[in-house]
Structure 1
Amino acid sequence: MRAINVMATAVVLARPDLTVRDAAKMLVDYHISGMPVVDTEGKLVGMITEGDLLHRTEIGTELKRRTRWLEFVASTRELASEYVKEHSRLVGDVMTTNVVTATEDTPLAEIAELMERHGIKRVPVLKDGNVTGMVSRADLVRALASVGPDVRGSITPDDSAIRDAILAALSGNRWALLPQNVVVSKGIVHLWGAITSEEERQAICVTARNVPGVKEVESHLEYPSIPLY
C-alpha cells in the first residue's frame, strides 16, 4: 500500500500569521494534535503541533531559568530560539520548519520508518509542494487491521478502482465516510469510523456491497465513545 491508499484528505491547515491562541483552539476544536502550515499559495512552510505549544508564558509552562553552567554553555541562538517559542504570538515564529513529508506514491513501509526515525505521529503528503493529505499512525494501524494474514505486497489496481467507486457512491450523502475510513484489500472492503444510527451503518454497507468487484464487506463502524469526567 501507498500513502494515497490510506491518507486523510480533509486536512486542517494553518497560516503563519495565525495567532498561537487561535492555533491552539483549532487543535482542540478539530481533535487533532498537529496541522500543516501553508503560505498564501498553499505551499507547505511548517507544522504546528502540541509539542510546539508545550512551553508557553501565558500558562506558566515556559522553561525555568537554566543553571548558571547550562546558561553559560548554551549558545545565544538556542536561548533566543527558546524565548521566541515561549513568547511569540504568531504560528510562523513557533512552528517546526524542518518538516518530514511524503508523496502520494510513498510506500507505507517508508512512512512508518520516517515516523519511527524522527519520533513523529503524522506525515503530510505533498504533490507539487501542496498538501494533499496526511498519514498518521492511526491510518497505518487501520491499514494493518484491514489486510489478511497472507498480504505482503502493495494494493492491486483492482482494489484501488473498487475503493474509488465506493467513495464516489458515498459522495454527497451526509452519512458518508471519510476517504481514509474505506480500505480495500483483495476485494474485501473494510469500513471504519463513527456512526450515529444502525440505519447509517446499513446504508454505508449496502453502498459498498453494490459496487462491482466487492467480494465481502467487513464493518468496523461503531458509535462514538463518550468521554468520562
Structure 2
Amino acid sequence: MRAADIMTTKIVSASPDMSVRQAAGTMVFAGISGMPVIDEDGTLLGIVTEGDLMHRAEIGTGVKQRAWWLELVASTRELASQYVKEHARKVRDVMTTDVATVSETCPVADIAELLERKRIKRVPVMRDGKVVGVVSRANLIRALVTMAPELPVDVDISDHSIREAVIAAMSGHPWALTRENVIVENGTVHLWTSVTNEDEAKAVRVAAENAPGVKEVVTHVGPPQIVPPQG
C-alpha cells in the first residue's frame, strides 16, 4: 500500500497572506490540526499546525517570562522568533517552512516511520512539485480499519498447519520460541516459555493469535509437560 492509496485528496490549505485567526478558524471547522500553505501558483511554502498557533499573545498563552539567566543564554534570533510566533498576524510569519514531503508511490510503512521520526502528524504528497494530497496519522488508522479484516476462528485448519504458521510467524525474531515449545491441540495453541519479560511474552502470544484457525492461546511457564503427537 502506498501514499496514493490512502491520502486525502480534498486538500484544505492556507495561503501565506491568510490571517492567523482565519487559519485557526479553518482548522477548527474542517476538523483538522494542520494544513499546507500554498501560494497562487500551487507551490508549497510551508505548513501551519496547531503547534504553530499554541503560543499567542491574544489569548495569553505566550511563553512566560524566563529567568534572567535564561534570557542571557537564549540567542537574539531565538527570542525574535518567539516574538513573531506570539504576535504575527499572517500565516507566512508563523508557518513551519521545513516541511517533510513524500511522493504518491511512497510505501505507507515509510510514511509511518517518517511521521514518528519527525514527530509530525501529517505529510504533504507531491507530484511534479505540486501538492496532490495529504497523508495524516488518521489516514493510516483508517487504512487499518478498511484493509485489516479480523481473522476467522471457525476455519477448519489442521493443528499441524496452525503450529507451522505460529512457528513461521516467530521465525527470525530473537524472542521466538523453539519448535518443541509450540504445541497445538484442537485449535488451541500452548506456548511453553521461560520468558519473564512482559514485552517478549506478549510478542510470542500475538504471533500465535495471528495464525489462521487459532481458537485460543494459552501460555505456560516452564518446559512442556506432555507433548502430544504433531503431524
TM over 0.5: yes
Q: Secondary structure at the match of 1:135?
A: strand
C-alpha distance 148-27 of structure 1, shift in aligned 2 (>3 A):
closer
Measure the CA separation in 2 of the matches of 1:95 and 1:149: 39
TM superposition outliers: structure 1 runs of 4+ over 6 Å: none
Measure the CA separation in 2 of the matches of 1:19 and 1:129: 25
1:26 matches 2:63: no
Q: Secondary structure at the match of 2:97?
A: coil
> Which TM-score applies when normalising by structure 1?
0.64
Tell me the residue number matched to 2:68. 68
Measure the CA separation in 1 of the matches of 2:52 and 2:135: 20
- More deviation, 140-149/27-36: 140-149
1:83 matches 2:101: no
Percent identity between the two aligned chains: 61
Whichever residue aligns with residue 137 of structure 2, its letter is R
Cα root mean square deviation, aligned: 1.5
- CA-CA distance at 1:148 after TM superposition: 4.3
Tell me the residue number matched to 1:212. none
Q: Secondary structure at the match of 2:134?
A: strand
- CA-CA distance at 1:149 after TM superposition: 6.8
Measure the CA separation in 1 of the matches of 2:148 and 2:16: 43
Whichever residue aligns with residue 51 of structure 1, its letter is G
Whichever residue aligns with residue 118 of structure 1, its letter is K
- CA-CA distance at 1:145 after TM superposition: 2.5
Tell me the residue number matched to 2:104. 104
Q: 1:35-89 CA distances to partner (integer Å, 9 max, x unpaired)?
A: 0001121110000111000000000100011111110000000000000000000
Q: 1:113-140 CA distances to partner (integer Å, 9 max, x unpaired)?
A: 0000011111110112211001111111
C-alpha distance 13-148 of structure 1, shift in aligned 2 (>3 A):
closer
Whichever residue aligns with residue 90 of structure 1, its letter is K
Q: Secondary structure at the match of 1:51?
A: helix
1:28-67 maps to which residues of 2 (within 5 A)?
28-67=28-67
Give the unaligned 5+ runs of structure 1: 151-229
1:134 matches 2:134: yes
Give the unaligned 5+ runs of structure 2: 151-231
Measure the CA separation in 2 of the matches of 1:23 and 1:149: 38
Measure the CA separation in 2 of the matches of 1:139 and 1:64: 36
Tell me the residue number matched to 2:113. 113
Measure the CA separation in 2 of the matches of 1:30 and 1:106: 26
Measure the CA separation in 1 of the matches of 2:34 and 2:14: 10
1:146 matches 2:167: no
> Quick check: which has more Rg, 1 or 2?
2
Tell me the residue number matched to 2:124. 124
Measure the CA separation in 2 of the matches of 1:87 and 1:135: 30
Q: Secondary structure at the match of 1:77?
A: helix
> Which TM-score applies when normalising by structure 2?
0.63
Tell me the residue number matched to 1:174. none
